[in-house]
């Protein structure tokens, strides 16, 4: 299988895997049957495999150029990816149950220190959106533009959906939650109290993010088949 048919099938299955479990309480029934940890382990593995297939299928689709790649585009990508990695690793498990990869009940974010959520309450969605948008700029063909552009729209669009869900769940506490957190704000970086509370955790995660970025940078050519260097 190849061409547009494979790409359409891969993309359709990837999208379906994210929406079907939410229909009719299927996700809750599966969690009840196998346990929360096992469900998300299997779900995460399936999502990664489908994502890899979508990317490979996009490379096999007919090449329809929309714009030519310029050297500055690769510089943009290489500046965006360390930031995306930092957001993803440092923000994993952020104190916000109403976001991708978040946890907690939101109470501590409304009445106490929100932690990384003060910097961003949607770090994984921002990381995904930044990764996708930067790759959409570099890959100016139709298949990759729909791939990365679609991921960027989904990631950034999900932020508003999650915030509406948080507002409904929190009710009267919602203003306090949104006042103490941000979609993305550099203000906590100038707060010494925030740094004292977050510095040890941030240092370890920043080192992991740096190592991950360097590994992805050098594995991109042998794994994906395209060098990311300008």
From 11, 33, 62, give the residue that closes a domain.
Answer: 62
- Whole-model pTM: value is 0.88
Q: Residue 19: its pLDDT value, please?
A: 81
Q: Residue 1: its pLDDT value, please?
A: 58
Q: Residue 127: its pLDDT value, please?
A: 96
Q: Which domain holds residue 27?
A: 1-62
What's the domain count of the chain? 2
Q: Residue 223: its pLDDT value, please?
A: 80
3-class DSSP state for residue 95?
Answer: strand
For residue 65, the cross-strand partners are 141
162 vs 97: CA distance, rounded Å: 9
Q: Residue 36: its pLDDT value, please?
A: 81
Quick one: CA torsion of 157, 150, 84, 158, rounded to 10 degrees? 20
From 39, 62, 85, give the residue that closes a domain.
Answer: 62
Burial class of residue 67 (count of CB atoms within 10 Å of its CB; 0-12, 13-18, 19+): exposed
Q: Residue 185: its pLDDT value, please?
A: 94
CA dihedral sign, ordered 23, 10, 216, 87: negative
* pLDDT < 70 stretches in the chain: 1-2, 106, 111-112
């Amino acid at each position: 299988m190849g061409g547009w048919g494979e790409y359409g099938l891969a993309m359709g299955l990837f999208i379906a895997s994210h929406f079907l479990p939410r229909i009719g309480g299927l996700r809750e029934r599966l969690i009840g049957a196998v346990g929360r940890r096992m469900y998300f382990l299997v779900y995460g593995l399936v999502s990664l495999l489908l994502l890899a297939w979508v990317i490979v299928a996009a490379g096999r689709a007919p090449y329809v150029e929309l714009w030519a790649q310029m050297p500055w585009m690769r510089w943009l990508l290489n500046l965006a990816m360390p930031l995306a990695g930092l957001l993803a690793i440092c923000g994993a498990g952020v104190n916000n149950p109403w976001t991708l990869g978040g946890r907690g009940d939101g109470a501590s974010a409304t009445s106490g220190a929100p932690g990384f959520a003060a910097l961003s309450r949607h770090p994984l969605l921002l990381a995904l959106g930044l990764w996708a948008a930067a790759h959409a700029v570099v890959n100016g063909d139709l298949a990759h533009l729909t791939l990365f552009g679609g991921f960027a729209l989904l990631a950034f669009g999900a932020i508003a959906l999650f915030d509406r869900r948080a507002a409904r769940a929190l009710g009267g506490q919602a203003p306090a939650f949104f006042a103490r957190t941000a979609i993305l704000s550099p203000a906590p970086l100038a707060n010494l109290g925030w740094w004292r509370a977050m510095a040890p955790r941030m240092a370890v995660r920043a080192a992991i993010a740096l190592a991950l970025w360097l590994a992805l940078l050098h594995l991109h050519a042998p794994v994906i088949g395209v060098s990311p260097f300008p």
